[in-house]
Amino acid sequence: MTSYKRLEQAFARIATLNEAAAMLGWDAAAMMPPGGAQARGEQMATLAGLSHELLTAPALADDFAAVTPPADPWARQNLALMREAHTRATALPRDLVEASSRANSACETIWRTARKESDFAAVRPALAEVFNLTRQSAQILGAALGLSPYDALMTQYQRGIHAADVAPIFGNYEIFLQKALPQAEEIQNRQSHESLPPGPYATAIQEALCRQLAAAAGLNFTSARLDRSAHPFCGGTPTDIRITTRYDEADSLSAITGVLHETGHALYEQQLPAAWRRQPVGQAAGMATHESQSLIIEMQAVRSDAFLGYLAPVLGNAFNKPITPAVLRRRLRHVARSFIRVEADELTYPAHVLLRFRLEQALLAGDLAVADLPGAWNDGLHDLLGITPPDDAQGCLQDIHWYDGAIGYFPSYTLGAMAAAQLFAAARKALPALEAHLAAGDFAPLAGWLARHIHGQASRLGFNELLAAATGENLNPAAFQEHLTSRYLTAS
């Protein structure tokens, strides 16, 4: 057996361990009783340690030293991604990997109660330890990869994107938002204030609609399931997708749009090339790319005039309520200066990401103490949106990411939104009848175009290379601003 084939086998085993960890993570969010948290933390830490042990085995290093680069371009990229993963793993001592896993699990468990009680003090020591261990890891990784500590974290979520790339993009958006937000609010205030009929919107009907619409978007439920959790997400594996959501009988659209968002993630996973499953090159191209796939479904397609024209009678018939496309547009395109990121409209959402991008860099560098996070958060949000959270539950406690050790992840959300706008514009050019298909509730042409240009490419290309191949250029934030201008700044 060649060195390359042995490397493939080793990475397949590592991927299988990671799949098991993903399932345990889904279970912790959707099914596990609270009493299982401590044992689950140990289970996750053990799996993380085993994965790290396989990735740092001496035999692996020997195979990397002896391997001949394959002629096939996919295999060659696979080898390059293997090397990067090996470099990251061998840079970190196993005890630090396991300590971080335990600290993240413990912090997340405390955070769940602290968020409900708006008690930052309760989770502050655990969060300080998460940042302490993450800082150690980031410094080690940065030295090994020739990156800054923060870039070493960012690139584990989206390869090839650095803080220096993101900062000017976000800075330009902040300037755009300062002018666009008041203008959008003024236009909105002149429009009809008609709202959706009051509930209740039965949970059972909501769940049935979520399944129906997700299937219409292309989700194969023979390899997927839909469950409930406090924080909606998509996890699992390409052949075993796990989507979760939450239902509110006063608001059916929250669950429906949330499930369709997660369906965008799920379609990406289900349509990755099976020939490269459990290999680095066969995985998604990064989290910004992943977010582009959820947002092209939820924000670009689902909230389009065409699809809302289809959705209104579907909802009206299901709930026996008078629901019109105009009312759906009013509800799903409402601009508001809000405290909660996951409830923010697409115009103000990047401000929430920009705030976190700045704060997590300061926390990682030690320029901001964890104890001072609530005040810095409140000041930063006021500077960006002119509002101040009334409590920490609506401020720095609202997101799971930092409390679970996901530092450097947040930029992916807005980069994904920008990429989604660029990809949708390209898809509309390539598919002249796209609007007509969406008006009929038919996602197949869009899903097929994405399967060819994004999903089927997996990690063969980087973020910008993937966009360039699909749209003709690297990330161009102008497409996002043009989309927002058309949707929110044009009076109708």
Say which of 262, 269, 291, 360 is annotated catalytic: 262
458 and 273 in contact (C-beta within 8 Å)? yes
Question: How far is residue 2's CA from residue 40's CA, in Å, rounded to a whole number?
Answer: 38
- Annotated active-site residue 262? The verdict is yes
Q: Tell me which H or E stretch contains 359.
A: helix 349-365
Q: Which residues contact 359 (CB under 8 A, 6 or more apart)?
A: 368, 373, 376, 377, 380
Give the span between the Cα atoms of 476 and 91, in whole angstroms: 34
Q: What is the Cα–Cα distance from 479 to 350, expressed in whole angstroms?
A: 15
Measured in whole angstroms, the distance separating CA 374 from the mean position of its chain's CA atoms is 24
Q: Are 211 and 221 in contact (CB under 8 A)?
A: yes
What interhelical angle do 463-471 and 287-295 show, nearest 10?
A: 40
Report CA 359 to chain centroid distance, whole Å. Answer: 19
What CA–CA distance (Å, rounded) separates 69 from 78? 10
Taking a C-beta distance cutoff of 8 angstroms, is the pair 276, 404 a contact?
A: no
Q: What are phi and psi for residue 201, nearest 5 degrees?
A: -110, 105
CA distances from 265 to 98, 158, 420 (A): 28, 15, 12
Catalytic residue list: 262
